Amino acid sequence: MGLVLVAAPSFAATPAAEDAAAVTTPPVALSPARPSRDRARMNQRVFDQVWSEVRTQYYDPRLHGVDWNAARRTYRPQAIAAADDRALYLVLDKMLGLLDDDHAGAAPPAVARRQDRLRERRAAIGVTLRPDPDQPGDYTIESVRRGSPAEAAGVLEGWRLHTGEGLWSPDQEVVADRTITVNFIDEEGRPRPLDLTPVVMEPQPAFVADRSRPGVVVLRVDGFEAGLGRWMGQELADLTPDTDVIVDLRGNPGGRLLEADAVLSCFLPRDQVWATRTPRSGREIVMRTGGGCGALEGPVANPVAVLVDSNSRSAAELTPAALQEAGRAVVVGERTAGAVLISQETRLPDGGRLILSRADFITSGGVRLEKRGVTPDREAAVSREDRRAGRDPALQAAISALADEQHGETALAEPVPAL
C-alpha cells in the first residue's frame, strides 16, 4: 500500500491508497424513510468499520480527547437507520468531525467511483466542486471546464450548488445523456436551477508543460499522481542552464508521497533530509530525498519558483516548504491550506472510502504545517475576475521573482520556528 499525501475536499479528488487528508461529504438532510433490512445491515457494517479503524489506527491514540465509545452510542443507531447513502455519510461525517481533523472523512460510493475514474473518459457536467464552509451541505463552483454542459448552460465559477432533500447532490451518480436538475445559486444569491445533461468527456492530463514563454518552462501539476517524477525528469532533462522553471501547484490536492519525493529529488541532492513523520507508535521516521527524478542522474541547477494558493494542500504544501527551507526555490502566491497529515485510505463494504490520518508531519526546519500552511516569499493572488478574463498575475509575479533573483534582489523566507 503506497504512501500518499493528499487533501482533496472536492468530489473529483485524486485516488490514493495512503494520503494526507480526507475527501469529505458535507452535511445534508437525513431522509425520513426507513431503511430496508439489507440496507440497515450494510449501514451497520460500514459504521462499525469506520468506528473501529478510528479507534485502532488514528495517529493520535488519545483521539484528541474524544470519548469514542460515547460517539458510538450516539451515532451508531443513526447510521443504521439511514435510508440512503446521503443520510449514512452525513452521520459518518458528523462523527468524524468530533476529531476536529480536516483529514478524517468518508466519501460515499458514487463519489469514490468518480475519484477512481478521474483520469478516464467518463460522464461529466464539467464543474469542480468544493464544500462550502459557510453553507453546510452546499458546494462552491471552483472551476468550469471549457466545452462542458455546465459552460454551455452559463454556469460560472463562484456560484454555489445547493443540495438538500430531494435535490441532486454529488453523492449521486452522473450518467451520460441522463438529464439532472442542478440547483445553483449565483453570486447575487439568485436561484439558478438548470437541467444539465452529462456527456462523456476526455480526461484532463494531470501534468502539463507550457513552453510558450521564452526562457521559462511552466510545469503545471494538478496532482501528485503516479508517473509525476518520471514526467518531470523528462521535462527537465533537455533544459538549458538559463531556462527558469516554474512549478505550478495551485489547486493541487496532493497525492503520492513517493512522487513528492521524486519532485524534490529533481532539485535537491540525494539523501537530503526534508521532513519527519511520526505515526501512532510515536517513533519518528526521517525522510530523505531518494533521487528518483525520472532519468535525471542528479538535480538540475536551474532557477526555480513554485506557485501555490489557498487550495494547495498536503504534498503540494510539503514540496514548496522543503524547497523553501533549503533555499532552493522562491515560493509565490497565497498561503497554502495547512492540510498536512499522512493518512491511509481504505475501502468500505458499500464501495465508499474512508480516509484517516495515520501520522503527523514536521518539516526539516521543525515546522508543523498542519493548520498553518506555507507562507509564500512573494504574495500574489489571482481574483475571480482575473481568471474569467484569462489573466494570471501570480504567474507573472513568479516570472518577475526569478528575474529579480538572478539580479540578487529576491530574499527567500527564513524557516519559521515550530510553535
DSSP-assigned states of every residue in 371-410: TT-PPPSEE----HHHHHTT--HHHHHHHHHHHHHHTT--
Give kind and range of the element (H or E) at residue 296. none
Instruction: Give 113 or 32, the one with higher predicted confidence.
Output: 113
Give pLDDT, residue 11. 34
The model's pTM: 0.84
Cell of 22: 480526507
Give kind and range of the element (H or E) at residue 278. strand 273-279
Cell of 158: 463562484
Grid coordinates 538559463 are at which residue?
242
Instruction: Give 257 or 7, the one with higher predicted confidence.
Output: 257
Residue type, 231: W
CATH number of 25-101: 3.30.750
Q: Which of 351, 255, 346, 352 is nearest to 57 (CA)?
A: 346
Give pLDDT, residue 18. 34
Percent of the chain clearing pLDDT 90 (strictly above): 69
Residue 1 scores a pLDDT above 90: no
Q: Which of 3, 252, 6 is nearest to 105 (CA)?
A: 6
Q: Which of 11-25, 148-162, 223-237, 250-264 has the lowest mean pLDDT?
A: 11-25
Q: Sheet holding 378-379: strands in order across? A: 207-210, 216-221, 244-248, 304-308, 330-333, 378-379
For residues 126 and 201, the answer to whether their CB atoms sit within 8 Å is: yes
Query: Distance between CA atoms of 44 and 319, rounded to whole angstroms?
Result: 40
How are beta strands 127-131 and 139-144 bridged, if at all? antiparallel
φ, ψ dihedrals at 347, nearest 5°: -80, 145
Q: What fold is seen in the domain 121-201?
A: Pdz3 Domain (2.30.42)
Q: Which of 259, 267, 273 is nearest to 365 (CA)?
A: 273
CB neighbours of residue 302 within 10 Å: 17
| 148-164 confidence digits (pLDDT tens) | 999 999 999 889 999 88
Grid coordinates 444539465 are at which residue?
196
Query: Distance between CA atoms of 41 and 397, rounded to whole angstroms?
Result: 56
What is the distance in angstroms between the CA of the first residue and the CA of the last residue of the chain? 32
DSSP state, residue 325: H
Cell of 94: 458528523
The domain locations on the chain are: 25-101, 121-201, 207-340+359-406
CATH number of 207-340+359-406: 3.90.226.10
Q: Which residues pair with 187 in a beta bridge?
A: none
Residue 317 scores a pLDDT above 50: yes
Give kind and range of the element (H or E) at residue 50. helix 37-57
CB neighbours of residue 355 within 10 Å: 28
CB neighbours of residue 213 within 10 Å: 12
| 226-248 confidence digits (pLDDT tens) | 999 999 999 999 899 999 999 99
